[in-house]
Amino acid sequence: MSAQHGEEGGRNLATRAVLAVLVPVAVGVGIYLYGTHHTPDYDNGLFGEHGDAAVDLKAQLSTALLALALIQLGLALWMYGRVPGARPAPRPVRLGHRVLGFLTFLFSLPIAYHCLVTYGVETTDPRTAIHSFGGCALYGAFVAKVIVVRSRRLPGRLLPVMGALLVLGVALLWYTAALWALNGDSVPGFSSV
C-alpha cells in the first residue's frame, strides 16, 4: 500500500511540475497570439489621453511601475536577510511585500492593456520585438511566481529566482519603451528609427 501511495505522490508531483511550466508558457503564448492576431487600434487611449500624450503618460506610469518593482526587490532582499547591516525584517514586511506585489501587478495592467490593444505584438525592429516578447513573457513569469509561491513542493530557491525575473522583466520593458519615449526616442543599444 505504501509503495502505491509513493507512486501516486510521485505522479502528482510530476503533474504539478508539468503544470507549473505549461500554465505560465500558455499565458505568455496566449498573449502573444492575441497580440499578433488582432488589429491594432492606434486611436486607443490611456486614461483619456491619446497619441503622444498617451505614450508620455504610459512612460511615466511605467517609471512608477519600475520604482514599485525595485521597492519589491528591496523588501525581498530584506526578508531574506540579504541587506548588509540591516536587522531582520519584521513580520509586517512579508505582508507588505505581498500586498505591494498585488498592487504592482494591478498597476501594470492598464499599461499592458494599452500596449497590447494599441500596438499588438510588433517585430518591426529589435527594440519593439524585444519589448513585445518581453511583455508576453512578463505575465507568464508572474503566473509562474504565483505557482511557486503557492507550492509547498517546489524548491524554495525558485521563489527569489522568479521574483528577480519579474524585476528584470519590468526593467527591460521600461528600458525598451518608457526610457525610449522619455529620452527622445533613443536609448543606448537601439538606434532611433
The mean of the pLDDT values for the chain is 91
Rounded distance, CA 25 to CA 19, Å?
A: 10
Give the pLDDT score at 1: 46
Kindly report the pTM of this predicted structure. Answer: 0.89
| Helix orientation angle between 158-173 and 126-150, rounded to the nearest 10 degrees | 150
The answer to whether the beta carbons of residues 186 and 192 sit under 8 Å apart is yes
Rounded distance, CA 149 to CA 92, Å?
A: 18
pLDDT tens-place string over residues 37-79: 999 999 999 999 999 999 999 999 999 999 999 999 999 999 9
The three cell numbers of residue 176 are 525598451
The answer to whether the beta carbons of residues 28 and 144 sit under 8 Å apart is no
Sequence-ordered strand ranges (E) for the chain: none
The answer to whether the beta carbons of residues 58 and 114 sit under 8 Å apart is yes
SS3 125: coil
pLDDT tens-place string over residues 126-180: 999 999 999 999 999 999 999 888 888 777 788 899 999 999 999 999 999 999 9
